[in-house]
Amino acid sequence: MGDMPGFDDRDGWIWFDGELVPWRDARVHVLTHALHYASSVFEGQRAYGGTIFKLSEHSARLRRSAELLGFPLPWSVEEIDAACIATLEANKLVDAYLRPVAWRGSEQMGVSAQATKPHLAVACWNWGKYFDPALAEKGIRLDIAPWRRPAPYTAPTESKAAGLYMICTLSKHHAENRGFNDALMLDWRGQVAEATGANVFFVRDGVIHTPTPDCFLDGITRRTVIGLARQRGIEVVERVIWPEELESFEQMFLTGSAAEVTFVASAGPWNFEVGELSRQLARDYDDLVNGRRQG
């Protein structure tokens, strides 16, 4: 962030429970249930040239995430879409990152939360590439995370729930403290799962392999890139992948709304090349989000 102000001290507007409020006035109470018990869900999406990519898919997932945590949102997909568009326009941005977030309020304190009210806010700001472009061009370096993705019978893993990202922060900090850019996370079985905020793909002999998302998010960007690959006639195999297989893969890349398509040079002891297939999909994704290609 450098010398930029913190996220609580900026000019601009945030959509908050139905109205646009000055950025610095978008506040919640310290006894908000979400702060104590992680009853919060969120989305992350990008606008390119004034158009928010896959907006309705993100809004639908936000509603689904909240339902999985037991607090259905009173805002429809169309209303959430409109809130995002209004926030983007109010801040006079055309290329931006948007963060819708929904949470339980402060009407009740304790594990039980039936009396709390759902809240919704949308913020947006200029955010360039998730990883430094010069670094990402060569491929980022991943550590192997000390924390694992939980089993779906221990947490609502289909929800983009704030609480599930605690182990992501721990894993990313652990990696950065050791000189890596991010971490590759395994799941509770020891199978390859994802990075701390992006899905993972591998390439071998012209075929793409990616873990089956049975305990982590089936990302919107993930599905988009799979579609782009198949449009080109590239075979995509979704399956169980064990860490020992990584030495047999030639290329690796990450996908996510923030990360877009990011090349990987290494994951733990395994090294990869930034190959043409990965570069082609990165170009295809860039063309799609910028309106130069049909989805």
* Residue 54 annotated among the catalytic residues of the structure: no
Q: Which residues contact 93 (CB under 8 A, 6 or more apart)?
A: 47, 124, 125, 126
Asked whether residue 58 falls in the same domain as residue 103, the answer is: yes
Listed residues 77, 96, 125: the one ending a domain:
125
Asked whether residue 173 falls in the same domain as residue 218, the answer is: yes
Asked whether residue 141 falls in the same domain as residue 118, the answer is: no
Asked whether residue 109 falls in the same domain as residue 141, the answer is: no
pLDDT in tens, 205-240: 999 999 999 999 999 999 999 999 999 999 999 999
Write out the residue range of the structural domain in which residue 40 sits.
Answer: 13-125
pLDDT in tens, 38-77: 999 999 999 999 999 999 999 999 999 999 999 999 999 9
From the list 113, 107, 32, 118, the residue with the least C-alpha distance to 73 is 118
pLDDT in tens, 187-201: 999 999 999 999 999
Q: Is residue 1 part of a domain?
A: no
The overall average pLDDT reported for the chain is 96
| CATH number of the domain that residue 61 is part of | 3.30.470.10
Write down the pLDDT at residue 1. 42
pLDDT at 3 over 70: no
The catalytic position among 92, 129, 138, 160 is 160
From the list 38, 12, 36, the residue with the least C-alpha distance to 25 is 12
Asked whether residue 172 falls in the same domain as residue 36, the answer is: no
pTM of the model: 0.94
pLDDT in tens, 131-189: 888 888 899 999 999 999 999 999 999 999 999 999 999 999 999 999 999 999 999 99
